[in-house]
Chains A and B, each alone.
Chain A
Amino acid sequence: MALSCFLRSVSGTNIDVNEYDLVNSAMQDDADDVIVTGSCKTNFTAQSTTEAVASPSATRNVEENTVADAHTVEDVQFQDFVEETMLVLDELKYPYQEDLRLKPLPGNHLLSSFSFDMKSESFTPGKTDLDIDQYSHYTVFPKPFKPLLERTATRQLHLRFTRGFWDAESWDTLPYDGFKSGGSGVELWAIIESDSQENAYRQWKSLANSLSGLFCASINFIDSTKTTYPVYAFHPAASEELPLFDQDKQLYLIRAALANEPVCTENLTPLIKLLPTKGKSGLSSYLDGHKVFDSIWHSLSIDIETQCDDLYGECRYSMEAMVDMVINVPNTIERVENPIPKPVEADKLRCDQTKHFDAFVCFPSSDNAETDFLFSKIFGKSIRGCDNFASSPSRVCANITDDWSFTLKVGDDYLGLDSNCFELNEGVEYDINLSSANTSSVTVLDEVPLYVSRSLTGYGQDHGGLRTVFHNPRSQPVRAIYFETLPWFMRVYLSTLQVDNTHSNGSPNVTVEDIMQSMHYVPAIDRSRPTHLEYIIEIPAFTSFAVSYQYDKTLLQFAEYPPDANHGFEIESAVITVVSPTDYQIRTATLLLSLSTPDFSMPYNVIIITSTVMGLIFGMIFNLLVKRVVTVEEADKVLAERTIKAKLLRLKQKILSRIGIAT
């Protein structure tokens, strides 16, 4: 910490103070202080003094985008300066990069994508930290991961925490083409090197348990009933080379998901702690759990890959952490301004012009066409720029149309650029301002190549159907991989699989053979394996159809039901990976399956009553089988002999006959 802060302050000085050598030397002194205290805050004060000196030189009283040129010129000068004088310090920069991308979406929504990239120091494969000659040093790469990845021989790790609803019909494609967001809940997949599938599973289980502790999530609930080994989906691109440290072993791709697992601040906080800035500076200072999870849709993702250099036999881990969220801007601001909702004041009330309104009746207009807000209002904090140790500066970019203006607030000044992309390389407080006169004007991305929705059909609690509707809105046929995992208590009958497109107008008729090209099916085993279904499907242009099949619901044992059994069981989302014409990944919504339940208060009663009935029947028949059949008179006679009185009488007679008294 002390080391990185030192570097931060030194390089910060370096960036800000290009001409003022005096200040530079003063800053060095300040930096020495920083080493002692080891705190970023000190660093801020040091840098703000620098800023006070530096800002007049930059003349940044910007109205709109006019200062862009001056800014870039200054950057060039600064680059030259670095190359000439600060070579040693430049080498001490670390492979870390952070980005924030903003994109207004229709309906006054805003997509904010934070991305944090970092790389580990290079290491020699096969040597663990315990080896005496292995030197390991953690810089920007989070410390918990390396031992974990080594212990479980994990070559790639992908973790997703996603919740909320992505409105694909109005917001178009998901950020990063859907490859960085999971299904609702937690999703984890990894590539693990092992000698057999059993061992790979053991390593996987260990990995899941460790991640569970690391992210305060229930990932430890991943067991063999949730784990699958994908065959077509989730495979890394062919161009990616996966390192194999031991040539006798193999790589196993293993995946599991926990549907509708709550994603909350307790998952975000550990994620922020993994970043070298720890949420104290840089873009991550925007990330506040209360605000992130107040959004309509949010996704946290972590991807770790192992990259090896064959030439030197050295590898390094690279990690990408992403936080994406969609917020409804007016609602969020409203909640900040009026924590206790109040009716809109009369002079601010805008009525819906399409409906009748007068002095007494007013339907409020749903959308504000104008907007102007500071991000500190939405996120509750502003950016504290303090990540100057990074090899490239923090960037904030916006993907907006000309109707929008995107400015960076530095102190009291507002900066604007044509490229709508800012590099934050000063140790000051930043804020972002976004304003527009017409919020409905947003940049148009590609239309989603495929719409998929899945639902449960049927009404009883003993059987039902699963129906997946595919809709291709484009003029090209779409080829996709459909991946689905269902819990074992859904007994799937794949023989009932059928394609139905009778309800879509004008679509050509398709059959199962036409659209499904190859299928991988692993049926479930009770209590030990889920159903795993994958197929490659081709959806013709402008076509929609439904693929459906039937399943039976089984009963569970009394103790296997969750405490809220009547709520239902979460079924994880299906994953559809479009492979042509574009690469895209979609996930359907999760499903809620209700199973029939026994009466949980009955165990003793059932055990007793069933046993009684069995005993009754058995007793009746056993009696009949073993006893002798006699007439009632004979029975009476025999029974009379068996009474105690008769026995006593007999005894008495015996005794009497012994002692010679005949009766």
Chain B
Amino acid sequence: MESFRQEGRWSLLAVVCLAVTVRCAVTAMFPSLQQQLDQQVEFSTPMTSYKSLREGLFLLRHGLPVYSGGVVHQPPLLLSVFSRVPNCCHRYLYAVADGVVACQLMLVSRALFSRTPGQRRVPTWVVGLLFALNPLALLSCVSQSTVSLTNVALSSCVYCAVVLRNTWLSGVALAFASYLNVYNAVLAIPLFNAFNGARREVCLFTSVFALCLALLLLLSGSQGNGGAFDGSFLQATYGAMIRFESVAPNLGLWWYFFIEMFQEFIPFFKGVFNVFHVGVTPAIAWRFRGQPLYSFVISLLWLTLTKPYPTLGDTALCFAYLPLFAPLFGYLKYPLFSTLLFLHGVMLSPIFYHLWIDLGSGNSNFFYAVSLVYALALGSIIADFVWAMLRMEYDGGSPNYKRRLTQI
């Protein structure tokens, strides 16, 4: 057991180092890659792009109002943290952030498998390596989209809740995640499952989360104007996201729908899409209340699918958790179909975007079609994993792949 720990420690260190080094190396070898990726709609959105972060820093540095325009959507504390780091060092910050995620993933994986011995498992180092070398995660990190930072907060949240079982820390981590992207607050519901229904813990978690988030918002509001609360950032960061103000093409379902929607119905459908985005999470959390990590990951996948501004960076984090559900793999009905669908979407999207935007030989429908394929791919992955979990629950721990089951 001790040697296993020892071995695990070395492999953990190696994978984290590899993750950080690969990211630094890619940035150093292709200096223009960052800008190139920052323009790619798959990796950066108006809400998360590094360009708008830089613009926020510029405005902050020159004493201009940061949130009066429609360009900066990053929350104030993030800007003030970045303003204290020289521009040339930002890339290392992102690389370290991804390293932390890799490390936490491996720790979560080890804790999970040590709790359920005898199950089919993927080696810890493989879990880490799959994230470290996942091209989506890698490129998202190189593009320096702030999604990477949200990912750290989310992964810390999982780590604290599942491995450390620390109510306080997971509440704080989720507060940070929600501070960066307000929709992440919904993930509190699947996290309740981590406390095995202990009412006291749930209350504590909720209050720590709420207090911490309130504190962050207060701090951001009173920052830089002598203690008086200035709520202008709320509109620019969260309001703009919820109201889907800057319509930019991305892999999500929202953008083309709202471009083509008739003016009068736009507010109504924005409401519908928001409900669609957050409304399914409680159902998932309730149905899989015995599986805290699983319900969390499936909720995260759902959020990624229905986000107003999704990126491949979000997807990369969700996919990083999938190897942890190795016992479910045998139950998947159509993994090949989902994989191919996903690859099809991811590979065609830059091509079709190029055809539409740069060459003009395709039109917006090309990219729209790919975004639908991508959505279907994520949808089929979610559905397949949900089915697999239902199937495993039915089997109660002793897999019987031959049993023919259905639902009524």
Q: Could you tell me which A residues sit within 8 Å of B by CB distance?
A: 459-463, 488, 491-496, 519, 521-526, 531, 550, 552, 554-559, 596-599, 602-603, 606-607, 609-610, 613-614, 616-618, 620-625, 627-632, 635, 638-639
Contacts and interface: CB of A to CB of B under 8 A. Distances in A.
A492 B71 contact: yes
Contacts of B379: 613, 616-617, 620-621
A614 B408 contact: no
Given A463-B39, A624-B387, A494 B382 contact: no
A613 B68 CA distance: 37
A434 to B, nearest CB: 50
B245 A526 contact: yes
Contact of A635 (B64, B247, B372, B406): B406
Contacts of B383: 617, 620-621, 624
B397 interface: no
B357 A493 contact: no
Interface string B55-83: 10111001010001111000000000000
Contacts of B337: none
B257 A607 contact: yes
A461 B357 contact: yes
Nearest to B378: A617
B99 interface: no
Interface in B371-393: 372, 375-376, 379, 382-383, 386-387, 390-391, 393
A460 B69 CA distance: 24
B407 A631 contact: no
A519 B62 CA distance: 10
Contact of B363 (A463, A557, A599, A616): A599
B405 A554 contact: no
B262 A555 contact: no
Contact of B51 (A493, A519, A610, A620): A493
A316 B300 CA distance: 71
Contact of A555 (B39, B249, B365, B407): B249
B404 A632 contact: yes
A494 B259 contact: no
A-B pairs with lowest CB-CB distance, top 4: A523-B69, A495-B58, A617-B379, A627-B407
A609 B369 CA distance: 10
* Range of interface residues on B (Cβ < 8 Å): 35 or more
23 contacts: A491-B70, A495-B58, A496-B51, A523-B69, A531-B69, A550-B51, A554-B246, A557-B263, A558-B262, A596-B249, A599-B365, A602-B260, A603-B261, A614-B253, A614-B306, A617-B375, A620-B383, A629-B393, A629-B406, A630-B405, A630-B407, A635-B407, A639-B408
A491 B71 contact: yes
B260 A629 contact: no
Most chain B beta-carbon contacts within 10 A, residue among A496, A610, A613, A635 = A610
A495 B51 CA distance: 8
A493 B54 contact: yes
A606 B70 contact: no
A555 B59 CA distance: 24
B390 A621 contact: no
Nearest to A604: B260
B247 A554 contact: yes
A523 B68 contact: yes
A557 B407 contact: no
B371 to A, nearest CB: 9
B229 interface: no
A293 B387 CA distance: 74
Contacts of A618: 276, 280
A625 B284 contact: yes
A427 to B, nearest CB: 61
A567 to B, nearest CB: 14
Contacts of A488: 70
B405 A629 contact: yes
The binding surface of chain A is classed by DSSP as mixed
Contact of A598 (B62, B259, B403, B407): B259
A459 B259 contact: no
Nearest to A639: B408
Given A598-B256, A599-B364, A606-B257, A525 B68 contact: yes
Interface in B228-285: 245-249, 253, 255-263, 266, 276, 280, 283-284
B9 interface: no
Contacts of B263: 557, 559
A598 B57 CA distance: 33
Contacts of A461: 357-358, 360
A632 B71 CA distance: 56
Interface string B297-337: 00000100110000000000000000000000000000000
Contacts of B92: none
B259 A638 contact: no
A552 B246 CA distance: 11
A332 to B, nearest CB: 40
B68 A522 contact: yes
B362 to A, nearest CB: 10
Contacts of A635: 406-408
B255 A607 contact: no
B368 interface: yes
B405 A632 contact: yes
A635 B407 CA distance: 7
Contacts of B401: none
Contacts of A599: 363-365
Contacts of A597: 363-364
B364 A598 contact: yes
B305 A555 contact: no
Contacts of A609: 372
Given A491-B71, A599-B364, A613-B253, A621 B280 contact: yes
A523 B71 contact: yes
Given A493-B51, A558-B261, A621-B280, 9 more contacts: A494-B58, A495-B59, A596-B249, A610-B256, A614-B306, A621-B383, A622-B283, A625-B283, A635-B406
Interface string B32-45: 00000001010000
A555 B259 contact: yes
Nearest to A628: B408
Contacts of B245: 526
A558 B259 contact: yes
B405 A631 contact: yes
B71 A493 contact: yes
Interface string B325-360: 000000000000000000000000000000011101
B376 A525 contact: no
Given A460-B358, A523-B69, A628 B257 contact: no
B305 A617 contact: yes
A525 B302 CA distance: 31
Nearest to A497: B58
Nearest to B364: A598
Contacts of B256: 598, 606, 610
A639 B407 CA distance: 11
B357 A617 contact: no
Interface in B174-230: none
A525 B235 CA distance: 12
A624 B386 contact: yes
B120 interface: no
